[in-house]
Amino acid sequence: MTNTRTIAYRSAGRCHGPITRLVSPGEEGHLIKPFVFLDYVDAPGGSGPNFGFHPHSGIATLTFPLTFDVEHEASTGQIDSVEMGGLEWVLTGGGVWHRGRPVGRGPLKGFQLWFAMPPSHELLEPVTRFIQPEQVPKSGPVTLLLGSHGSMVSPLNTPVDANLLWVELAAGENLDYKPPEGHQVAWCFAQRGVVEVGGEHLDRELAIFAEGSGKLHFRAQTGCAFLLGTAAKHPHDLVLGSHSVHTSDAALSSGVRRIAEIGERLRFDGKM
């Protein structure tokens, strides 16, 4: 089958120890917004990163731990955990601090993504949701992390028009994917094995496809797994802070002020 979407950009990312930065708000995020950040964590057992309290505003974060559990604490006081294969969703809104700790002694593999929020949600009160693995929809080779696919609908109700799929194929298997109407943005990251798409082979690489509405055809050259995202393009400029992504200077200023206030409280409480 001929693919109607070509690859416009590909990259192996930038490695910092066990973390590979694949998408940054100031770089690739401009091409695939509302997806503005993507990290892949790949660490041997017992050596994974611990993320102490750190702030965000204006975005939502989605953590997908493939091989480990995560304990999470937010400055709202919420403490919870998600098992491997589940999802951790944090709508940071007008400002929140949070921290996460991986649980497990085996290899640590997983993803974290950031999503740019529309003005209606970038300054709301923060909300955290934890979806356990048995609640994450799966059909055949596709696990649905966000949005909808076929008859599957994600339990996460989000303000972004986006799909996020985790796909695992055996050697020689194919997947045809037709993005929903309006999903001009499309990308994938080949996490394991070799997958052919757009007439090219990907091996632990990010591919950003030319904007359009055509189908994507994936063929596994070996047993493989990849993350696939599509979305309606975020229509606003990205206004960036050190820990924030907003749609305007005024919204960014509000988020920065709120982050500073929460940080002072955490220091007063001895949590930092």
Mean per-residue pLDDT over the chain, rounded: 93
Residue 256: inside a domain: yes
Residue 2: inside a domain: no
Q: What amino acid occupies position 87? A: L
* Predicted local distance difference test score (pLDDT) of residue 50: 65
d(CA 232, CA 179) in angstroms, rounded, equals 10
- Listed in sequence order, the residues at least 6 apart from 217 whose beta carbon sits closer than 8 Å to its beta carbon are 1, 2, 3, 174, 175, 176, 177, 197
Take residue 183 and report the two structure tokens written for it: 């999903």
* Predicted local distance difference test score (pLDDT) of residue 49: 62
* Predicted local distance difference test score (pLDDT) of residue 46: 60
* Predicted local distance difference test score (pLDDT) of residue 34: 98
* Predicted local distance difference test score (pLDDT) of residue 63: 95
Residue 232: inside a domain: yes
- Listed in sequence order, the residues at least 6 apart from 270 whose beta carbon sits closer than 8 Å to its beta carbon are none
Residue 1: inside a domain: no
Residue among 256, 186, 135 at smallest CA distance from 9:
186
Are 102 and 73 in contact by the 8 Å Cβ rule? The answer is no
Residue 140 has pLDDT above 80, yes or no: yes
Residue 247: inside a domain: yes
pLDDT tens digits for 176-232? Answer: 999 999 999 999 999 999 999 989 999 999 999 999 988 999 999 999 999 999 999
pLDDT tens digits for 35-64? Answer: 999 999 998 876 556 677 899 999 999 999
Q: What percent of the chain has pLDDT over 70?
A: 96
d(CA 199, CA 69) in angstroms, rounded, equals 37
Residue 1 has pLDDT above 80, yes or no: no
Range of the domain at 107: 7-268
* Predicted local distance difference test score (pLDDT) of residue 52: 78
Take residue 90 and report the two structure tokens written for it: 């944090």
In total, how many domains does the chain have? 1
Residue 108: inside a domain: yes
Residue 105 has pLDDT above 80, yes or no: no
Residue 173: inside a domain: yes
Categorize the per-residue pLDDT at 138 as very low, low, confident or very high, splitting at 50, 70 and 90. very high
CATH number, residue 165: 2.60.120.10
Residue among 136, 152, 146, 42 at smallest CA distance from 83:
136
Residue 262 has pLDDT above 60, yes or no: yes
Take residue 140 and report the two structure tokens written for it: 């055949």
| 170 CB burial (10 A radius; 0-12, 13-18, 19+) | exposed
Residue 206: inside a domain: yes
Pairing relationship of beta strands 19-23 and 14-16 according to DSSP bridges: antiparallel
Are 270 and 83 in contact by the 8 Å Cβ rule? The answer is no
Over residues 161-179, the mean pLDDT reads 97
Over residues 247-265, the mean pLDDT reads 96
* Predicted local distance difference test score (pLDDT) of residue 48: 58
